[in-house]
Amino acid sequence: MNRAPDDAHRHARALLDPVHYDYFAGGAGREVALDENERAFRRLALLPRVLRGAASRDTAVTLLGDRSRMPVLVAPTAFHRLAHPEGELATARAAAAAGTVLIASMAATTAIGEITAAARSVRPEAAVWFQLYLQPEPEVTGALVRRAEEAGCTALVVTVDSPVRGRHGRDERHGFHDLPPGLAAENMRDLPGTAPGGAAVRPIAMSSALSWEHVRRLRDTTPLPVLLKGVLHPEDAQRAVAEGVDGLVVSNHGGRQLDAAPATVEALPRIVEAVAGRLPVLLDGGVRTGCDVAVALALGATAVAVGRPVVWGLAADGERGVRDVLEWFRSDFDQALALCGGTRPADLTADLVVRRGGVGSGAW
């Protein structure tokens, strides 16, 4: 039986070093945004349709040419080897086996080439996207993009909500500011500005000077599709469409950046309206059940991505734990889809979502 995310979370918490558990579990400030991501889903209900006469369902979606067995992707999260010795290699194999897209973090503790190789050792057509922080030095960004291309990544997911680092109270209380000996952000080795030979690791820079011009330069240097992750304002979504971006991820960085940011599912409808179907809109933050997935899709998301549940599965039982969590999401979403009277993700529409206590109120 596949392990549910809540079970994996309890098991992971018992196994992890408390400092590392708090790194993964914590958010910015008073952790309001972190908590609201989940609470906002619980304030919404699904209004099911009945007697639709469908004997089978297809949960698959296609995103920028990559097919996923379910509308649940693996969100980029850093430092998987803090959770399990096999780290991102185990996560990559599990995501490939589950038939979904892995978005690999630039801050992974395994190099992107090894991650894609691990995924494709399980399934040759496995899709791996690369999450990227644009660096102030264009030559550093360019080198990272070339690595992703050479590794066979099929899209770039550019995180745009981090002009500065969020303040994480749990990490500050623990004094956790660097990885333990033997672990590093492996994608940051042997980049321009470091000594040759791969020994030096550049820090990942955050810069408030980054602008739309940097996104244009990126798009001019790579044939890969570019998605922007961290868009919450509809005017930014409209600008992204005008700039020719290939997709958006509605995200508040898992509650780890601006603590006053809205829950992502509450921001989603305005982004979907602004985009008006011109590019795919994904969502991450607070997705913990198949019903959450169904709500997000009904409100216009093409797919969702999950981060912490994958880390809990990894910590609980390595590759098998990640695969169990992902298979649980697929099964739970399939059940929610059936109970809503749908046969495919596109059958989930906004009229199926109401606020709890607001049936018939036209809340959305």
Residues designated as active site? 253
Q: Compute the distance between CA of residue 40 and CA of residue 295 in angstroms, rounded to an integer.
A: 11
Beta-ladder partners of 284: 305
| Main-chain dihedrals φ then ψ at residue 68, nearest 5 degrees | -120, 140
- Provide the token pair at 273: 């309206």
Q: Compute the distance between CA of residue 25 and CA of residue 18 in angstroms, rounded to an integer.
A: 10
- Provide the token pair at 338: 């059936």
What 3-state class would DSSP assign to 353? Answer: strand
Cβ(248)–Cβ(271) below 8 Å: yes
Size (the chain), residues: 364
Cβ(244)–Cβ(219) below 8 Å: yes
β-bridge pairing 66-68 and 61-63: antiparallel
Cβ(72)–Cβ(325) below 8 Å: no
Nearest to 75 by CA among 295, 277, 325, 266: 325
Cβ atoms within 10 A of the Cβ of 157, count?
Answer: 28
